[in-house]
């Protein structure tokens, strides 16, 4: 699946480059063919409205303590990386949300396979699924997944919407929604992958008080997404894949405990 994803992304980049080159060549021709347009690369704004600095400061100040949440993004090389991380986790691990760039219909099989080898429960997310400790929800292919806080509970929202950073599901969409709904109650992790999806969202999580981690170059199959996050100042820490499971367990163990109902 990783090879197929890598080839799919590579074809997309080659097509973009070819279109741009063709457009430049056509400029010099008297009777040019209709202009070839490169598809716009949309940000998470197209799916999750951004918030102002003032609104962000207000959310940080009023953010209640909740159960811990882990949001993870991955692309090329991610299926094996996620398997390695999730199989090391104990059954009482914090709730986990995952966006793995993968075609439609592959995510369900991927989740079922992990569910048979992990102590935690792993399933393909459905709209309205409860986010709970001991369970990982994987975003379905060809739709976006958002984290939503409803009173004292977290649920996921599955939406269509346009491609963001040329992906659906998009890591940026998950990370932005996590930043706004959970703030410092969430840990953001960006693993191996091509491109820059997730880098902006991870920075937004960090700005909302979330601890953030990017996978290091040595253990990444493709050091694209993590590198972009590091360069943007989005990664609070840079760790090898072998330390990610421990990071999740420690975050859950050290997270403040809710003392009552949430607003």
Rounded Cα distance between 96 and 248, Å, is 9
- What does the block give as tokens for 24? 């430049």
Residues 71, 75, 93, 210: which is the catalytic one? 75
Catalytic residue check, 197: yes
Residues sharing a CB contact under 8 Å with residue 245, sequence separation 6 or more, in sequence order: 84, 85, 86, 88, 89
Which one is catalytic: 71, 101, 129, 216?
101
Determine the Cα–Cα distance for residues 14 and 8; give it in Å rounded to an integer.
Answer: 10
144 is catalytic: no
Q: CA-to-CA distance for 256 and 186, rounded, in angstroms?
A: 11
Cβ neighbours of 43 (radius 10 Å): 17
Give which of 84, 122, 108 is closest to 220, Cα–Cα.
Answer: 84
Q: Is 75 one of the catalytic residues?
A: yes
Tokens 């070819």 -> residue: 18
**148 contacts 157 by C-beta, under 8 angstroms:** yes
Catalytic residue among 2, 172, 197, 216: 197
Count of C-beta atoms within a 10 Å radius of residue 163: 18
Residues designated catalytic: 75, 101, 197
């Amino acid at each position: 699946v990783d090879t197929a994803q890598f080839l799919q992304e590579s074809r997309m980049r080659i097509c973009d480059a070819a279109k741009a080159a063709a457009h430049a060549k056509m400029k010099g021709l008297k009777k040019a063919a209709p202009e070839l347009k490169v598809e716009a690369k949309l940000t998470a704004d197209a799916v999750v409205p951004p918030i102002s600095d003032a609104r962000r400061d207000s959310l940080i100040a009023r953010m209640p303590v909740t159960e811990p949440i882990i949001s993870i993004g991955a692309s090329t090389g991610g299926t094996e990386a996620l398997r390695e991380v999730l199989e090391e986790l104990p059954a009482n691990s914090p709730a986990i949300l995952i966006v793995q760039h993968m075609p439609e219909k592959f995510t369900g099989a991927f989740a079922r396979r992990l569910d048979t080898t992990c102590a935690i429960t792993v399933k393909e997310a459905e709209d309205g699924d409860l986010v709970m400790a001991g369970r990982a929800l994987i975003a379905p292919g060809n739709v976006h997944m958002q984290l939503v806080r409803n009173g004292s509970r977290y649920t996921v929202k599955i939406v269509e919407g346009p491609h963001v950073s040329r992906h659906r599901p998009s890591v940026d969409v998950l990370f932005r929604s996590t930043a706004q709904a959970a703030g410092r109650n969430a840990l953001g992790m960006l693993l191996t992958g091509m491109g820059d999806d997730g880098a902006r969202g991870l920075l937004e999580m960090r700005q909302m008080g979330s601890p953030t981690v990017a996978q290091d170059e040595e253990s990444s199959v493709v050091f694209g997404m993590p590198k972009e996050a590091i360069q943007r100042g989005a990664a609070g820490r840079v760790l090898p894949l072998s330390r990610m499971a421990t990071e999740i367990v420690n975050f859950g163990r050290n997270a403040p405990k809710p003392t009552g109902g949430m607003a």
